[in-house]
Amino acid sequence: THDQSVFSFYPDFHACRGFEEALRRYREIAPHLRLAGPTSFAPVIKASIDIVEQSGGQYHILLIIADGQVSTAGDRLSPQEESTINAIVDASGCG
């Protein structure tokens, strides 16, 4: 999704119930994906904020499975790092 959006593990967008189901679906889906950078976790963090807000602030755990790291642009933060950091800050006030 080129660090811009997220996709559901299921066509009907229902959530996984627990870590084991999420891992099982990942293993089913991963062989059919082409994962590539740059990596930004901001879209999935922002989507998780929406899920928490829609649930009325229920407790959730966000598990991120990735094929790489958010890379730096030399001695300064990359745009992906900046957006990931900003999303984490936004999520810290969520719920």
Say whether 68 sits in a helix, a strand or coil.
Answer: coil
Percentage of residues in the chain having pLDDT higher than 90: 14
Judging by beta carbons within 10 Å of its beta carbon (0-12, 13-18, 19+), is residue 47 exposed, middle or buried? middle
Q: Return d(Cα 60, Cα 15) in angstroms, integer.
A: 12
* Predicted pLDDT of residue 25: 92
The larger pLDDT score, comparing residue 66 to residue 29, is at 29
pLDDT digits (tens, 9 = 90+) for 46-55: 988 988 889 8
State pTM to two decimals: 0.70
Q: Return d(Cα 30, Cα 66) in angstroms, integer.
A: 10
